[in-house]
Structure 1
Amino acid sequence: METTKDIAIGKSFNNWIIINKLGEGGFGSVYKCQNTIDPTQFAALKIFCQDNDALTETKIIRKLEHNEGVINMIECGYSDFGYIMVMDIHGINLKVFKEKLPEHHFTQDTSLRLLLRMIKILQFIHKEGIVHCDIKPSNFVVKGKEDIVLIDFGIAEYYQDQFGNKTNRKEHRGFRGTLQYASVNAHLGKPVSRTDDLVSAFFIYFENILGTLPWNSLTDSPQQICEKKIQFKESGIYKYTQIQMPVINSFQTIIENVDATEPSYTFIMNKLSSLFVEQHIPLIPIFNEKELSILPEEEDYCQYRTVPSTPKNCKLKKINQIDEAQSVESQNTTSYLDDLFKTMKEQLPSFHPLPKISSFVSKLKSNDFNLPFGL
């Protein structure tokens, strides 16, 4: 049985053929794939390292997939190279999108619309008894330039069962999530709650509008990041004039009621909705024309991450740049050999490449291997 690391471009799963790698992490690898029956259909194919991780995530996504704000699963199952999940493929994530903008931040209106959409998505998954546990910009991808979709439920959990009873979740389990966007509770090792998901969404809003967060430069010090977040939520937030008071009030409300049975979704939505009315902000589209002009075509920028950005995973590559470099080298070499054979045929009409050379070139063109030497 092959492992995830052995997966090669061109292999198939059911009616899907792998085209290229999009990302990898502690839970597995994600590839872009193409439907062999309908070549116009593309998808994201995730190969898990552990079957237990796969079964948990696929079960959660299957429960949530009827909502437009959650990634849709096309199919899943076992293969010769591990458990596989095929999902819809969308555009760049919000982190990459923000970095592409000239000012490296979204406008106030766009930031507010994104926050409202994120809260609606979270309200839905929370209603289904699930907490995401890793809300961050790179886990929201752009869908058709008009919406966003939440992806990567690798560490998501059930906080209650189908009957509304709380599930047994281990206390003081250690940090889980992404340092920059995790709540203070997550830093303390407590089970992530619905409120903690909402806090992370507000952190995304603050970063979208400010361009950065006060603790983003402290990536190597979880303790200092936690202390900065405590200062920020207690008083530091008020010094940023770009953040409107209804947003601050909403944020303060959820952190003050962290142990509430039900987060104050209605209060938050009402506060944010009042801003749209008072300032004549349109609810749609989410992104303005200037921001949309930054986006390339979807098939050119699809990116997925399959693991939270915890310290132990911070060195993982998002994109397999070595494979890309080797692919370019192979294409250049193939072109060189084609030109060489063409020239030889013109100068020597009786010239025919030896069978072994022809076989070598065929394999090279199909990317079965890369040359161990330069030409």
Structure 2
Amino acid sequence: MKQLEINKQFVTQKKISQGSFGIVFLGIDQKNGNQVAIKVEKPENEHLHSIDKEVEILSRLSNIKGVPQIFYYGWEDSYNVIVMELLQKDLASILKQRKKMCLKSVLQLSIELVQILEEIHKQGVLHRDLKPENVMLDDNNKVYLIDFGISKIYIRKNGILIPFKDRVPFIGTSRYASIAAHKGFELGRKDDLESMLYVMLYCFKGNLPWQNIKHVPDDQRTQKIGEIKENIAVKELFKDLPTEFIKIYEYLKRLTYASEPDYNSIVKLIQQAAQHANIIMDHKYEWDSQLANLDKNMNRYGSLQTEELPLKQFEKFSSNLNNCNNLVAQTPSRFNQLYPPTTKQESQQNSNSIYGSGHQNISIFNSMGIIYQRSLEEISEELQDSIPDELKSHNQIYLQTLPEQLKKPKLFFKTTQFDEDDEQVKEDNLLFEKYRSLSAQQTTIFQNHKK
């Protein structure tokens, strides 16, 4: 598709995604330079007026948090388009990288989704297509629901629900659709919540029991998935999840089409699950935490550890330092095997992480377990530069570095006689070159801190 200029303000750039009814492009607002999302209806679907229906629903939901804002809609070069707020991070893309999510993330997402669905339902709208691709997060981890293309207004102008029907065509995504959708029933508010539970279950486990069904014709697959959902034991379905999820699921199955769900009680049950699991709901997610850890550990040498290390751990490292001379008792071939394994301390930190995973410290010299305690004056003098103001409050800084012996390999790696095979260890110039290059990185780190 050629580049479109919409309303002499918005310009399409590249395709982001494509669905059954339209194509979503990354766009630019030429007035302020901000990025936007531009949804273009496929010409072959113009008779369905999906964009017009979505605009009607989004206009009704314009004041609800968790629903993207509309900037413009109309026709441009014979295309029906809608310009919306851009949200670049969706659950599907996160799951492609991570495969699954920890319990904390699932609980936090569940609460926000229940609250958004409650507000949407109050405005008389059913989403009817909850799936990871339609759940987005902004830079502050605020949750949004997108794609109201097959959503429906279920309340008439007089405030009465549209009548219940059966034998209606299946609508939604079969993997996450409610049991009622598979049976051909008119969907209600409970069905959005049931779909939300399937999405959260998928996020936690990375798969669902009805995925990858074999030896079933395509035209029978949707029906077969519905049968599995209806017959599977609830305890088996929510295995490894808090029992509160079972209570919510069984409660939703008892509701009828016209029932109004008790959203507040559902949120309280999720909060109770977090309490029982000793999880703090602080709107932080494991993918953001690990990005921060990655940034912290990016520098392989001279990375500042401003938190105090326990005394016993420091004594352990000091002991390792005193035993550093034992390195000369190893053959040259073994020097090539000095890889940086994860220390016991790091392993414990990773296993105890509230997010269930963490990044290993990737210091080249971590295999020696050497951490020096250096005063600010010593570091400043060695770098010939001042210490940044934000670090002056620390009396001591723990700095991963090399001992003096390795800084001057000529004094340390003298010709050494071995008992077993009389091999000799010569000066380790390679190690010296590594130290020199990493020392330059250390200077750069402090300059960045100063900036």
Instruction: Answer yes or no: same fold by TM over 0.5.
Output: yes
**What is the CA–CA distance in structure 1 between the aligned matches of 2:186 and 2:226, rounded to whole Å?**
16
Matched, 1:114 2:75: no
**Match 1:270 to one of 268, 291, 299:** 268
The corresponding residue for 2:121 is 126
Distance 1:176 1:289, change over 3 A: closer
The corresponding residue for 2:76 is 79
Q: Do 1:129 and 1:162's aligned partners in 2 also have CA atoms closer than 8 Å?
A: no
Distance 1:281 1:132, change over 3 A: same
**Match 1:177 to one of 172, 182, 189:** 172
1:236 deviation in Å?
A: 4.3
The corresponding residue for 2:369 is none
1:37 deviation in Å?
A: 1.8
The corresponding residue for 1:44 is 37
**What is the CA–CA distance in structure 2 between the aligned matches of 1:95 and 1:183, rounded to whole Å?**
19
Q: Do 1:109 and 1:281's aligned partners in 2 also have CA atoms closer than 8 Å?
A: yes
1:287 deviation in Å?
A: 1.3
- Whichever residue aligns with residue 25 of structure 2, its letter is Y
**What is the CA–CA distance in structure 2 between the aligned matches of 1:292 and 1:73, rounded to whole Å?**
33
- Whichever residue aligns with residue 86 of structure 2, its letter is I
Distance 1:286 1:198, change over 3 A: farther
1:76 deviation in Å?
A: 1.1
1:267 deviation in Å?
A: 2.2
Q: Do 1:172 and 1:188's aligned partners in 2 also have CA atoms closer than 8 Å?
A: yes
- Whichever residue aligns with residue 245 of structure 1, its letter is T
**Match 1:293 to one of 268, 291, 314:** 291
Q: Do 1:147 and 1:286's aligned partners in 2 also have CA atoms closer than 8 Å?
A: no
**Match 1:21 to one of 11, 15, 18:** 15
Percentage of identical aligned residues: 24
Q: Which has the higher contact order (CA 8 A, sep 6+)?
A: 1
Q: CA RMSD in A?
A: 2.2
- Map 1:28-67 to 2 at 5 A: 28-39=22-33, 41-49=34-42, 50=46, 52-67=49-64
- Whichever residue aligns with residue 30 of structure 1, its letter is V
Q: Do 2:164 and 2:257's aligned partners in 1 also have CA atoms closer than 8 Å?
A: no
**What is the CA–CA distance in structure 2 between the aligned matches of 1:277 and 1:45, rounded to whole Å?**
41
Deviation by residue 1:55-95 (Cα, 9 ceiling, x = unmatched): 21101001112122112111112222322110011122111
Gaps of 5+ in 2: 293-451
SS in structure 1 opposite 2:64?
coil
Distance 1:181 1:148, change over 3 A: same
Q: Do 2:186 and 2:257's aligned partners in 1 also have CA atoms closer than 8 Å?
A: no
Distance 1:38 1:237, change over 3 A: same
**What is the CA–CA distance in structure 2 between the aligned matches of 1:292 and 1:170, rounded to whole Å?**
48
The corresponding residue for 1:222 is 222
Q: Tell me the TM-score normalised to structure 1 length.
A: 0.71
1:270 deviation in Å?
A: 1.9
1:12 deviation in Å?
A: 4.0
Distance 1:241 1:118, change over 3 A: same
- Whichever residue aligns with residue 39 of structure 2, its letter is K
Distance 1:256 1:140, change over 3 A: same
Matched, 1:150 2:145: yes
**What is the CA–CA distance in structure 2 between the aligned matches of 1:14 and 1:259, rounded to whole Å?**
46
SS in structure 1 opposite 2:100?
coil
**Match 2:256 to one of 251, 255, 258:** 258
Distance 1:119 1:8, change over 3 A: same
Matched, 1:164 2:162: no
Deviation by residue 1:272-327 (Cα, 9 ceiling, x = unmatched): 12223343322221413556629xxxxxxxxxxxxxxxxxxxxxxxxxxxxxxxxx
- Whichever residue aligns with residue 43 of structure 1, its letter is V
1:194 deviation in Å?
A: 0.7
1:240 deviation in Å?
A: 4.8
1:126 deviation in Å?
A: 0.6
**Match 1:88 to one of 80, 85, 88:** 85
For these two proteins, the number of residue pairs brought into alignment is 284
1:116 deviation in Å?
A: 1.1
1:249 deviation in Å?
A: 0.6
Q: Do 1:46 and 1:85's aligned partners in 2 also have CA atoms closer than 8 Å?
A: yes
1:189 deviation in Å?
A: 1.6
The corresponding residue for 2:67 is 70
Deviation by residue 1:217-266 (Cα, 9 ceiling, x = unmatched): 1284122211110123xx24346541110111111111122345211212
Q: Do 1:209 and 1:242's aligned partners in 2 also have CA atoms closer than 8 Å?
A: no
